């Protein structure tokens, strides 16, 4: 009996507690409502109420400096959600409400757009839209066509309509992604350990570098690096390296597999830091690499060159997109942020890291003439070249690898891509790892 009594009394106590909690909650909510009503009376306070944008992307252009600067200039708070390239795609498909702004690569669009989770961005609301480099809009640079094998941005740049899930081959008002950064990739080498000039992609699988080479562990990119090697050795010429047939995939993977079995590779890498560590520690002397990673190795006092090669570069490009559900104040803030991003400060910031900004004119206005001459015109540095954080990247007199912007972007051979035979390629890649 006492047992039961205690139980019931404790239950009653519990119920009382919860009722009281509920009451307290209601009171708090009422207070909040009243409070917010009070706030709406004062526009100035609203303006000071910061909008927070959840910015999904790879760590590449998520910099604390950019977030700080935009907070200063616009009062917008940027909340970075840093994930890997693969996870950006995954998040857009599976959790489109978990971000307000995404920085994704153009080659992913073939997978992303049909999902209907992104909305077209209106070119009319982008202030500097007309000044975006023709690399994106027309696929040309200084009036010359550049290589468009793979998923070149111009192929997936325009949407048929605001909410369309189809690309438009001709210009429309609706843009899939507003470009942020892009670059032309090539191999990174350790000149101090190789001790001879490297001029061709075929050196990646040259047995001379057995056990000292590396490629990316991102299948769709790794296989294209291999394709560059295959073409360089003259074994095969692809119609489109970024969209191989099953037979071509078999051929390319066989060459990669043979190299792996012969012990050509030291390791595969998946992110920026891994590639830096492999190179800086001397585990590898030749590998696929990103330009800022080479800069990072060099800033550690290790000789490393982002080596231009005669067959050209494999390029990539990223841009801002917004989820379909975004509207109202947050959407406006997103356009504000994008317009700010293209207005020069951020562009100059990215240029100084070795990437390229989408709007060159505004970026140039935010850079010192000597910086512009070094990074964009391929001229010898007149003064020491410094990173955004002030560390010296290059001494006066050095010339940027690959030369000027036009020489590099003009030398693009193919773009990062998603193939039509993607499934098959992934299966072959797993086979390659198991071999």
Partner 1 sequence: MGSEAGVSPASSLVEERGVASSAARLPRAAAAYLLVAPFALVLLLFFVLPIALTLVVSFWSYNEYSITPSFTLENYAGVFEGCVSRLPELCTTFKTYLSTAKFCVSVWALTLLIGFIVSYFLAFHVRSPAVQIALFLVCTIPFWTSNVIRMISWIPLLGRNGVVNQTLTAMRATGEPIEWLLYSDFAVVLAFVHLFITFMIVPIFNSMMRIDRRLLEAARDAGASGWQTLCNVVVPLCKPGIAIGSIFVVTIVMGDFVTIGVMGGQQIASVGKVIQVETSYLQFPIAAANAVILLAVVLMVIWGLTRLVDIRKEL
Considering beta carbons, is residue 172 or 422 the nearer one to partner 1? 422
Interface characters, 374-413, with partner 1 (x: CB under 8 A):
----------------------------------------
283 counts as binding partner 1 under rule CB under 8 A: yes
**Cα dihedral sign, 144-149-151-155:** positive
User: Nearer to partner 1 by C-beta: 240 or 271?
Assistant: 271
**250 lies in the site for partner 1, by CB under 8 A:** no
Residue nearer to partner 1 on the CB measure, 186 or 287: 287
**Exactly one of 235, 281, 310, 325 binds partner 1 (CB under 8 A); which one?**
281
Nearest to 53 by CA among 363, 366, 340: 340
**First CA to last CA across the chain, in angstroms?**
72
Token look-up 């252009």 returns 61
Residue closer to partner 1 by CB (options 115, 339) is 115
Residue 422 interacts with partner 1 (CB under 8 A): yes or no: yes
Closest CA to 342 of 182, 180, 157, 217: 180
Residue 140 or 283 having the CB closest to partner 1: 283
Query: Interacting stretch for partner 1, rule CB under 8 A, among 195-203, 269-277, 296-304, 403-411?
Result: 269-277
Nearest-approach distance from CB 302 to partner 1, in angstroms: 11
Which of 267-275, 313-321, 332-340, 373-381 is the region at the interface with partner 1 (rule: CB under 8 A)?
Answer: 267-275
Main-chain phi, psi angles of 145, to 5 degrees: -65, 140
Q: Is 393 helix (H, G, I), strand (E, B) or coil?
A: strand
Give yes or no for residue 219 binding partner 1 (CB under 8 A). Answer: yes
> Exactly one of 160, 267, 302, 387 binds partner 1 (CB under 8 A); which one?
267
Distance CA 242, CA 226 (A): 11
* Structural contact between residues 375 and 352, judged by C-beta atoms closer than 8 angstroms: yes
Q: With binding defined as CB under 8 A, does residue 260 bind partner 1?
A: yes
Minimum distance between the CB of residue 93 and partner 1, rounded to whole angstroms?
6
Q: 69-72 contacts: CB < 8 A, separation 24 or more?
A: 69/345, 69/346, 70/337, 70/340, 70/341
Q: Is 423 in the site for partner 1 (CB under 8 A)?
A: yes
Contact flag: residue 273 with partner 1 (CB under 8 A): no
C-beta of residue 204 within 8 angstroms of C-beta of residue 215: yes
CB of 228 to partner 1, least distance (A): 20
| Residues β-bridged to residue 105 | 318
- Distances from the Cα of 213 to the Cα of 197, 224, 258, 311, angstroms: 16, 16, 14, 19
Beta-bridged to residue 187, according to DSSP, are: 288, 307
The H-or-E segment that residue 295 falls in is helix 291-299
Residue closer to partner 1 by CB (options 69, 111) is 111
Query: Of 238-246, 262-270, 363-371, 377-385, which part binds partner 1 (CB under 8 A)?
Result: 262-270
**Count of residues of this chain found to bind partner 1 when the rule CB under 8 A is applied:** 39
316 near partner 1, rule: CB under 8 A: no
Determine which residue in the list 15, 27, 28, 433 makes contact with partner 1, applying CB under 8 A. 433
Query: How far out from the chain centre does Cα 150 lie?
Result: 17
If binding is defined by CB under 8 A, does position 277 make contact with partner 1? yes
90 binds partner 1 (CB under 8 A): yes
Distance CA 269, CA 274 (A): 6
Task: Specify whether the backbone of 282 is left (phi greater than 0), alpha (psi in -120 to 50) or beta.
Answer: left
Cβ 313 vs Cβ 411: under 8 Å: yes
> Are 269 and 287 a contacting pair, CB within 8 Å?
yes
Q: Is 235 in the site for partner 1 (CB under 8 A)?
A: no
Residue 431 DSSP class: H
Q: Which is nearer to partner 1, 245 or 422 (CB)?
A: 422
Which one, 269 or 355, has the nearer CB to partner 1? 269
Q: Reduced to 3 states, what is the DSSP secondary structure of residue 144?
A: strand
* Residues near partner 1, by CB under 8 A: 1, 3-4, 7, 86-87, 89-90, 93, 110-112, 114-115, 211, 217, 219, 260, 265-270, 277, 281-283, 418, 422-423, 426-427, 429-431, 433-435
């Amino acid at each position: 009996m006492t047992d039961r009594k205690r139980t019931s009394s404790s239950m009653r106590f519990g119920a009382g507690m919860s009722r009281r909690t509920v009451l307290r909650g209601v009171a708090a909510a009422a207070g909040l409502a009243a409070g917010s009503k009070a706030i709406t009376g004062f526009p100035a306070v609203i303006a000071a109420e910061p909008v927070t944008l959840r910015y999904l992307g790879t760590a590449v252009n998520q910099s604390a400096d950019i977030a700080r600067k935009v907070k200063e200039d616009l009062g917008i708070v940027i909340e970075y959600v840093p994930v890997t390239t693969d996870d950006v795609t995954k998040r857009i498909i599976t959790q489109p409400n978990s971000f307000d702004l995404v920085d994704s690569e153009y080659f992913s669009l073939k997978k992303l757009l049909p999902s209907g989770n992104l909305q077209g961005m209106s070119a009319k609301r982008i202030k500097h839209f007309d000044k975006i480099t023709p690399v994106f809009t027309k696929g040309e640079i200084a009036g010359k066509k550049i290589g468009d094998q793979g998923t070149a941005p111009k192929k997936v740049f325009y949407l048929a309509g605001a909410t369309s899930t189809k690309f438009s081959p001709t210009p429309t008002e609706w843009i899939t992604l507003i470009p942020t950064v892009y670059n032309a990739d090539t191999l990174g080498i350790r000149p101090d350990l190789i001790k001879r000039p490297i001029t061709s992609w075929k050196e990646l699988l040259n047995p001379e570098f057995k056990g000292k080479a590396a490629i990316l562990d991102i299948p769709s990119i790794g296989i294209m690096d291999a394709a560059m090697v295959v073409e360089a050795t003259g074994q095969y010429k692809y119609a489109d390296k970024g969209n191989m047939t099953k037979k071509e995939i078999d051929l390319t993977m066989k060459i990669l597999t043979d190299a792996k079995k012969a012990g050509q590779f030291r390791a595969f890498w998946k992110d920026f830091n891994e590639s830096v560590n492999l190179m800086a520690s001397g585990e590898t002397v030749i590998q696929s690499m990103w330009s800022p990673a080479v800069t990072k190795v060099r800033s550690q006092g290790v000789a490393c060159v982002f080596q231009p090669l005669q067959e050209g570069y494999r390029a990539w490009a990223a841009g801002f997109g917004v989820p379909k559900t975004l509207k109202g104040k947050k959407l406006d803030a997103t356009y504000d942020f994008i317009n700010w991003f293209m207005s020069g400060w951020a562009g100059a910031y990215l240029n100084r890291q070795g990437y390229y900004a989408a709007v060159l004119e505004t970026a140039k206005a935010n850079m010192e003439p000597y910086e512009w001459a070094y990074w964009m015109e391929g001229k010898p540095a007149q003064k020491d070249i410094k990173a955004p954080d002030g560390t010296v990247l290059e001494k006066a007199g050095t010339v940027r690898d690959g030369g000027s912007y036009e020489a590099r972007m003009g030398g693009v051979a193919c773009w990062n891509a998603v193939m039509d035979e993607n499934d098959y390629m992934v299966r072959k890649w797993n086979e390659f790892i198991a071999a």
